[in-house]
Amino acid sequence: MKREVLIIGLGLIGGSIALGIRKEHDVRMVGFDINDEQMRMAVSLGIVDEKATSLREAVQSADLIVLSVPVAASERLLDEMKAFTFKPGAIMTDVGSTKQQICEKATELSDKVVFVGGHPMAGSHKSGVSAAKVHLFENAFYVFTPSSELAPEVMSTLKDWLKGTRATFLEMTASEHDEITGAISHFPHIIAASLVHHVESEENRDTNVTRLAAGGFRDITRIASSSPEMWRDILLHNQPSLLRLLDEWDREMQHVRTLLETKDRDGIFDYFQRAKDFREKLPERKKGAIPAFYDLFVDVPDHPGAISDVTGILADAKISLTNIRILETREDIMGVLRLSFRSEEDREQAKEQLGYHTFESYI
């Protein structure tokens, strides 16, 4: 009899995990999602074999259960599962961006099922199960937050289940995870949103602010377009870490204010130099907590069919685009296309192919 995997939540992440498991294991893949359309799509694409008609019944035969839903929904499901019966030896994991509250809640099920907190640090411009890709997590960090009492063989089994994702597995405590992701993911989302709010308020002083906020400003605040519901839940779940980071940010901004008030030329130079040096030491080819954007900017002549020429070249080379946007149109000279790709490799290949056809492009 085939082993059974239950994926609860069939979006981009849940669907991609299912594909990764299928790559290495011959299993019966069962899916459950409150969105009937996503559920039907997952079955039709072959991501899952069948729909679970009852969550209570589905967990009884599952060897692996993956909670691939927002953190608040995971907590509600864990509460509901207190009345469920699980298969002996079953493992359950989640994919949430915060870990402490989820892992604490899961201890209430410790007499029923083994739970291991998980967080695959990968994403995409697209959402939904139709965007699921087997390579989504390749070379990305996949963090596990096992309890100190967890038997080593459980982690070995879980990693074996997920080896088809080709992710880089890391283990740390739930509190360590939340502190780190708070600093490198959650807090930057707050800053991006606050920058947008700040520019919105400045628009009251001068309407040209919005017109000039295109281009670079729009790019550095791109993550502010993330789901408000998701980020509300993440902030509430990681409140202690974020309050600490806000206090530190206040001190950082007071330091900048002092540099300005005292007209400290050397201090201002050093402030930006140290930031530049640290940023340039950051790994370039690793996937991190915030999804990377692999953008290529292409100058296109202002004549009919120019954009279709670009997309045709990429199509002939079998290079997939995740997004395309016209950034600006300059009279009598060039327009600029911003092309977004799923990986750095695709971007480099696109740059090479476009170069063969005399299109100037830059990163």
Please tell me the distance from the alpha carbon of residue 146 to that of residue 161, in angstroms, as a whole number.
16
Predicted pLDDT at 332: 46
Rounded Cα distance, 142 and 307, in Å: 38
> For the whole prediction, is pTM greater than 0.85?
no
* Residues 39 and 31: beta-carbon distance below 8 Å: yes
Q: Where are the beta strands (DSSP E) in 62-212?
A: 64-67, 91-94, 114-120, 141-145, 168-171
Predicted pLDDT at 127: 75
CA angle 332, 333, 336 (to 5 degrees): 125
Per 3-state DSSP, the chain is made up of helix, strand and coil in percentages (nearest 5) of: 50, 20, 30
Q: Which domains does the chain have, with CATH numbers?
A: 3-172 (3.40.50.720), 177-280 (1.10.3660.10), 294-362 (3.30.2130.10)
**Which tokens in the block code for residue 350?**
């696109």
Mean pLDDT computed over every residue of the chain: 89
CA dihedral (247, 248, 251, 255) in degrees, to 10, reads -160
Residue whose entry in the numeric block shows the structure tokens 């209430």: 108
Residues 85-112 have pLDDT tens digits of 999 999 999 999 999 999 999 999 999 9
What is the enclosing helix (H) or strand (E) of 68? none
Plot region of 247 (φ>0 → left; ψ -120 to 50 → alpha; else → beta): alpha
Cα separation of 30 and 241, whole Å? 36
Q: Which of 174, 62, 172, 58 is nearest to 107 (CA)?
A: 174
Return the structure tokens found at 43: 């079955």
Residues 6+ apart with CB under 8 A from 20: 134, 137, 162, 164, 165, 166
d(CA 30, CA 18): 9
Query: For residue range 303-326, what is the model confidence (pLDDT) as tens digits?
Result: 777 888 888 899 898 888 877 877
Distance CA 119, CA 146 (A): 12
pLDDT, position 166: 93
Per-residue pLDDT of the chain (363 residues), as tens digits, is: 789 999 999 999 999 999 999 999 999 999 999 999 999 999 999 999 999 989 999 999 999 999 999 999 999 999 999 999 999 999 999 999 999 999 999 999 999 999 999 999 987 656 788 888 888 898 889 999 999 999 999 999 999 999 999 999 999 999 999 999 999 999 999 999 999 999 888 888 888 887 777 667 877 888 888 889 989 999 999 999 999 999 999 999 999 999 999 999 999 999 999 999 998 998 765 666 666 667 888 888 767 778 888 888 998 988 888 778 776 544 445 567 888 887 778 888 999 998 888 888 887
